[in-house]
């Protein structure tokens, strides 16, 4: 590896020759402020916050796009630089909606933090402002251009990482805006509702469509029986909203908080993840044995499903017909649970706590309901649940651990790992292997499908039949994989695709991180660790070992993949227009 020697603020360092000045400074634990920069996503030097002085250079340089050089002498903290940075912030603020206390990102806004750090307290440059437009027609995402600072982080994420192109840049200079083509709403664009743009946004220009008031209203309605379920990734991310270290599982405290909020029952979506494996695994075996459409592709991620319907409709026959786990569980709550408790399904209000903004869109799909009653009534993100816990005055960190309610509360390690990329595949392989071979799988960890590589491959021997599998996370990687299949370059029997990079643990509804965090850790890895640790600690680690799932089939559903199961737990998909 080629290296160079340079000096930053009097500190002599040696770094790889392909580093930028920003990367070199961070390697020396020197913080240069940034706003438009987002590691591996957006490096354009447009905000001018990361300007530095280089000895011998005639002008200040943007550290995020300036390469290091042998013998460079760099200053990152001078009065001139601080003055320029304050000036840049004041210009940004001159066209910014400064109603900070009522903003969804107040307290977690990178612009607000920079103003505090650099002492920007006054606004000297008040003038013409961009006309305020709030686009709230999407069921998942709200855009408020009065908060937008045109940093382009959302655009880079949507176009370069997810490869969707729902939003872009139009016009120039002061009139530059971020939005959809022809000034359309996100609801009229090819947006897949993944919410990765929300995580990329440094301010409050993008946020989820809030459902908190609806859920509070349901909890306060005596005629409604309000039931909640929580996705696997929620337990691995919720603690961050209360100051806990990334990667800490808070399952017990999460359940306790939900019970204190007043939910009648707290069920575990992990139970439905195990159920999904029973249905999806059986579907895969039937396709392998009966000449069905292959490769079969998982259907747990609603962002991925909408992406397939919009950009790759030729693969719709390849999609598993299984509903996503939370939709399966909600359907059972309004059928099996309703019958057991004698409650009219119309009086049951189901809430799903999800790490995903696309679940909000999914819950509105007409095909995910029965007799005019939607399976899921409301979806809350991890951030929204945290809002409710804080509003209720619950001291989350001091809560004792509690347990999920029975009937839909048991889960195995296989259900837990659904939240990480490769988790659905690994869970399926644990069960399919034992069903097909009749042998006990001693080592249940299929590490070939773990990790954050964009596309992962493996081969599994099922009694002499070689099953080729692949895993992709993020729709940009999904596009690469599907194109290779279309060209005949690759062939598989089973594929897992998650719409978000890293899977659900970094879904659009998870805690929003400051851009600096990505420079020092990878949330995809750290949050996934919590799920794998919980999996390893489970007594049962295979979905078909779940006793509550077994009882469900014995008492209510009958045969796995049978008529009743298909009616309640399976669905269909549709081709969608890009515009």
Map residue 227 onto helix, strand or coil: strand
Cα(202)–Cα(518) distance, integer angstroms: 13
β-pairing, 465-473 with 494-498?
A: parallel
* Inter-CA distances, 569 with 35, 445, 550, Å: 45, 27, 15
Of 283, 327, 410, 534, catalytic: 283
Of 99, 126, 314, 367, catalytic: 367
> Please, which residues have CB within 8 angstroms of residue 507's CB and are 6 or more apart in sequence?
194, 195, 233, 354, 355, 356, 357, 358, 500
Whose tokens are 């001693």? That residue is 442
Of 211, 320, 352, 363, catalytic: 320
Asked about 148 being catalytic, the answer comes back as no
Asked about 362 being catalytic, the answer comes back as yes
> Please, which residues have CB within 8 angstroms of residue 378's CB and are 6 or more apart in sequence?
211, 214, 215, 218, 349, 350, 351, 352, 363
Of 64, 109, 158, 300, catalytic: 300
Q: Are 155 and 178 in contact (CB under 8 A)?
A: yes
Asked about 521 being catalytic, the answer comes back as no
Plot region of 173 (φ>0 → left; ψ -120 to 50 → alpha; else → beta): left
Asked about 283 being catalytic, the answer comes back as yes
Cα(474)–Cα(103) distance, integer angstroms: 29
Asked about 300 being catalytic, the answer comes back as yes
Encode 408-445 in three state secondary structure.
CCCCCHHHHHHHCCCHHHHHHHHHHHHHHHCCCCCCCC
Asked about 98 being catalytic, the answer comes back as no
Asked about 189 being catalytic, the answer comes back as no
**At CB < 8 A and 24+ separation, what contacts does 245-252 make?**
246/521, 246/523, 246/526, 246/527, 247/526, 247/527, 247/529, 247/530, 248/530, 249/530, 249/531, 249/533, 249/534, 250/396, 251/401, 251/534, 252/399, 252/400, 252/401, 252/402, 252/403
Of 240, 362, 426, 493, catalytic: 362
Cα(156)–Cα(169) distance, integer angstroms: 10
Of 259, 359, 360, 490, catalytic: 359
Asked about 360 being catalytic, the answer comes back as no
DSSP H helical segments within 101-159, as ranges?
110-118, 153-156
Cα(62)–Cα(20) distance, integer angstroms: 10
Angle of helix 212-219 relative to helix 382-391, nearest 10 degrees?
50
Q: Which candidate, 273, 267, 271, places its Cα nearest to that of 254?
A: 267
Of 208, 240, 241, 280, catalytic: 280
Of 504, 526, 543, 545, catalytic: 504
* Inter-CA distances, 397 with 132, 392, 393, 480, 486, Å: 39, 14, 12, 42, 50
Q: Which residues are part of the catalytic machinery?
A: 280, 283, 300, 320, 359, 362, 367, 504
């Amino acid at each position: 590896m080629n290296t160079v020697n340079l000096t930053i603020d009097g500190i002599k360092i040696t770094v790889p020759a392909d580093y930028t000045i920003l990367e070199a400074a961070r390697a020396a634990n020197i913080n240069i402020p940034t706003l438009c920069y987002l590691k591996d996503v957006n490096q354009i030097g447009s905000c001018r916050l990361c300007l530095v002085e280089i000895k011998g250079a005639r002008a200040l340089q943007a550290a995020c796009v300036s390469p290091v050089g042998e013998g460079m002498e760099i200053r990152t903290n001078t009065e001139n630089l601080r003055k320029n940075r304050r000036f840049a912030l004041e210009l940004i603020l001159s066209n910014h909606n400064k109603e900070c206390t009522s903003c969804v990102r107040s307290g977690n806004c990178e612009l607000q933090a920079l103003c505090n750090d650099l002492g920007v307290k006054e606004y000297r440059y008040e003038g013409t402002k961009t006309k305020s437009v709030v686009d709230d027609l999407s069921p998942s995402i709200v855009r408020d251009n009065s908060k937008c600072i045109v940093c382009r982080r959302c655009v880079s994420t949507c176009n370069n990482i997810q490869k969707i192109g729902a939003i872009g840049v139009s016009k120039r200079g002061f009139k530059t805006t971020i939005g959809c083509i022809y000034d359309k709403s996100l609801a009229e664009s090819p947006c897949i509702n993944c919410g990765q743009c929300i995580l990329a946004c440094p301010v409050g220009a993008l946020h989820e469509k809030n459902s908190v008031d609806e859920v509070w209203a349901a909890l306060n309605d005596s005629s409604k029986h309000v039931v909640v379920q929580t996705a696997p990734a929620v337990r691995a991310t919720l603690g961050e909203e209360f100051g806990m270290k990334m990667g800490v599982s808070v399952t017990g405290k999460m359940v306790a908080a939900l019970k204190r909020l007043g939910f009648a029952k707290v069920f575990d979506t992990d139970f439905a993840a195990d159920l999904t494996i029973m249905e999806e695994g059986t579907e895969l075996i039937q396709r392998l044995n009966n000449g069905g459409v292959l490769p079969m592709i998982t259907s747990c991620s609603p962002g991925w499903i909408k992406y397939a319907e919009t950009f790759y409709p030729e693969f719709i026959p390849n999609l598993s017909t299984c509903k996503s786990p939370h939709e399966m569980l909600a359907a059972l709550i309004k059928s099996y649970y309703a019958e057991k408790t004698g409650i009219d399904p119309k009086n049951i209000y189901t809430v799903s706590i999800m790490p995903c903004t696309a679940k909000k869109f999914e819950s509105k799909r007409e095909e995910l309901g029965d007799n005019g009653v939607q399976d899921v009534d409301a979806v809350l993100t991890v951030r929204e649940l945290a809002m409710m816990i804080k509003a209720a005055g619950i001291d989350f960190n001091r809560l004792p651990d509690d347990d999920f309610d029975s009937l839909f509360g048991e889960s195995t390690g296989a259900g837990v790992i659904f939240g990480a990329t490769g988790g659905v595949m690994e869970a399926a392989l644990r069960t399919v292997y034992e069903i097909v071979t009749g042998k006990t799988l001693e080592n249940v960890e299929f590490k070939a499908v773990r990790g954050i590589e964009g596309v992962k491959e493996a081969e599994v021997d099922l009694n002499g039949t070689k099953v080729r599998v692949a895993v992709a996370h993020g729709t940009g990687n999904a596009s690469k994989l599907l194109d290779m299949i279309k060209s005949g370059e690759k062939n598989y029997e089973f594929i897992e695709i998650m719409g978000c990079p890293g899977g659900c643990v970094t879904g659009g509804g998870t805690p929003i991180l400051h851009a600096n965090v990505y420079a020092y850790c990878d949330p995809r890895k750290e949050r996934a660790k919590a799920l794998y640790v919980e999996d390893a600690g489970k007594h049962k680690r295979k979905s078909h070992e779940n006793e509550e799932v077994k009882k469900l089939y014995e008492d209510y559903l009958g045969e796995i993949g049978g008529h009743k199961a298909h009616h309640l737990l399976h669905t269909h998909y549709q081709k969608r227009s890009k515009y």
